[in-house]
Structure 1
Amino acid sequence: MTPRHDPRDDGGWFAHPALSVLLAVVWLLLRQSVAPADLIAAVVLGLVVPRLTHRFIGPAANPRALGTALRFTFVVLWDIVVSNVTVARIVLNPASAPKPAWVPVPLDTQHPTAITLLATIITTTPGTVSCVVDDAHGQILVHALDCDDPAEMAAQIKQRYERPLMEIFG
């Protein structure tokens, strides 16, 4: 039996430590200052915002394999750059004849954060859009701008994105 999230749980002051640090750092970068007033504001934002939003964003995810997460970040960024070039070639070449396709990608992970990140990565990569996360069938439905082999694309998504996410989130 999975534990249920208590809606009255405020998560404490450090409910989302990574979000707290991120908010504080972004505040300091936006202010371009480490003056005492800005440091205090960064700490207050880093503590108060996650506490206020805890019930909306749920419990914090605890990534396990930080090295894998770092490598995965570079893989995703590289794929986004390559996809931008590919989509630009398709769009700018009047002779191109893209083959759009619906690609069902069966999911091996059940971790909600991993599934959310997978859908986000697919959508952020030009030329693909995650349209439906189908919990009943355990799959995500992806629309591809140009796809010769939907089975190969599904296998590539699983290998390049889902497998590292499963390692990171378990």
Structure 2
Amino acid sequence: MMRRLFPAPLLSAALVVLWLLLNEPLSIGHTVLALLFGLLLPPLFASLRPQRPRIRRPLRVLQLILVVGRDVLLSNLQVGSGVLRLRRRQPQSAFVTIPLELRDPTALAALAMITTVVPGTVWCELARDASAVRLHVWDVQDEAAFIAHYKSTYEAPLLEIYQ
């Protein structure tokens, strides 16, 4: 019974908190709307989630978040300094195809978000069989080293977490 009313309790809580943060000032009306959205939207859209993700190593999730945060900061600095040096050195932009071992749809979605968040990389295409991803990389000096870094830093932890 509770599972039917609250199919995704964390999503419900996140919706309530996000609604209240985005709609200031805090009022009774916004609180009621937040609670309604938090309670009604997850059951209404539950059929759109084809499967529940199963996280096998939750502590690894925290470690991956920290690594991605570090990479976002470092990439921002690298892209910013690269833009400032455009007259002296042009970036070596390239499309890079990376073979994937990931097959879990949730893990692939997480990999796509990570790729999009890190400055200098854009997720362009996923092979139909999910065996490879094509990225546009703003400045890649050594394609093989980039592929090895991407697989070990992002794909390997997601494999541990989801598969």
Which stretch shows the higher mean deviation, 68-77 or 30-39? Answer: 30-39
Cα separation, partners in 2 of 1:92 and 1:34, compared to 1, 3 Å: closer
TM-score for both structures, normalised by structure 2:
0.85
Counterpart CA distance in 2 for 1:13 and 1:132 is: 37
1:127 is aligned to 2:130: no
Residue segments in structure 2 that go unaligned for 5+ positions in a row: none
Q: CA deviation at 1:120?
A: 1.7
Question: For residue 76 of structure 2, what is the amino acid of its counterpart?
Answer: N
Cα separation, partners in 2 of 1:13 and 1:156, compared to 1, 3 Å: same
Counterpart CA distance in 2 for 1:36 and 1:84 is: 40
Q: How does 1:39-58 map to 2 (within 5 A)?
A: 40-58=32-50
Counterpart CA distance in 1 for 2:35 and 2:130 is: 44
Aligned with 1:86 (options 66, 78, 100): 78
SS of corresponding position for 1:84 = helix
CA deviations 1:51-102 (Å, max 9, x no partner) are 2222334333232322111111111111011111111111111212211122
Aligned residues: 160
**Mapped contact 1:103–1:151 kept (Cα < 8 A):** no
TM-score for both structures, normalised by structure 1:
0.81
Cα separation, partners in 2 of 1:58 and 1:160, compared to 1, 3 Å: same
Which stretch shows the higher mean deviation, 116-125 or 50-59? Answer: 50-59
Q: How does 1:1-170 map to 2 (within 5 A)?
A: 12-30=4-22, 40-93=32-85, 94-136=87-129, 138-170=131-163
* Alignment root-mean-square deviation, CA: 2.3
Counterpart CA distance in 1 for 2:37 and 2:58 is: 25
**Mapped contact 1:102–1:150 kept (Cα < 8 A):** no
Residue segments in structure 1 that go unaligned for 5+ positions in a row: 1-10
Question: For residue 108 of structure 2, what is the amino acid of its counterpart?
Answer: I
Cα separation, partners in 2 of 1:97 and 1:126, compared to 1, 3 Å: same
- Identity rate of aligned residues, in percent? 34
Counterpart CA distance in 2 for 1:167 and 1:12 is: 30
Q: CA deviation at 1:32?
A: 6.5
Counterpart CA distance in 1 for 2:29 and 2:119 is: 41
Question: Which structure 1 residue ranges, 4+ long, deviate > 6 Å from structure 2?
Answer: 32-37
Q: CA deviation at 1:139?
A: 0.5
